[in-house]
Chain A
C-alpha cells in the first residue's frame, strides 16, 4: 500500500514535471500569475485567452535566441 502510494506520488510528480518542461502547463501558470497580480499592471485588464496567450508566447520566444548550436 505504501509502495503504491509512493509510486503514484512519483508518477504525479513526473507528469507535473513533463507538463511544466514542455510548456503544456504554461497557460495555467499564466492564469495563476494573473490572479496573483489581480489582473493589473502589464497583464492588462483581463487575462489573455488560451489562443492569444499561446500566440503571444511563441512570438516572444522566437524573437530572441532560443535554440543553441
Chain B
C-alpha cells in the first residue's frame, strides 16, 4: 500500500476543524443535550442518538477535544472499560438550568424538557411563533464586533435577566415559553 506522511499522533481522532460544522448539524448539540440528564456511557449515548457506537464516539471525541465534555468515570466491567461522559463545565448555564429543572420533579413532566427532546423543542418554539403570532415572541441574532470586557458585561446582564425571570416562574400558569440564548465567540483574531 502507498506511503503517507508519518502519523505521529496517538489520538483516535485527528481531523481538521470539523466541530463547528458538526454543531451546526446538530449531532454534537444532541450529545450535549443528552448529557443534561446526567452522566452517560457511549452505549447509552449511541442508544439515545440511535446511531452505532463508533458514530457516537466520533462526536464525543470532537466534544472532548473542544473541552465541552469530559470523561468523569472509568470502570472495568467484566474486562471491558466503560467510560462515563459528562458536561465539562458548569458555565453551560442554559443546559444546567434545564438539567436542574428536570431532576426528580415529576410535576414538571408535562414540560417535556428532557435533554433528548431539547433540539426538537427548539424547532417547535420557532414554529410556534407563526402559530401563536399574537403571543410574545422574539428571534434575534446579532454578530457584534466587541472587546471582551463589553461582552463580559453583556453576559452579566444576560445572567441577571435570566435570574429575574426564573424567579418569576409560575408553575400554575397554563402557557410555557421557551427562551434560548447563545453568547460565544464567533470569529476571533488568531494570535
B and A form one assembly: no
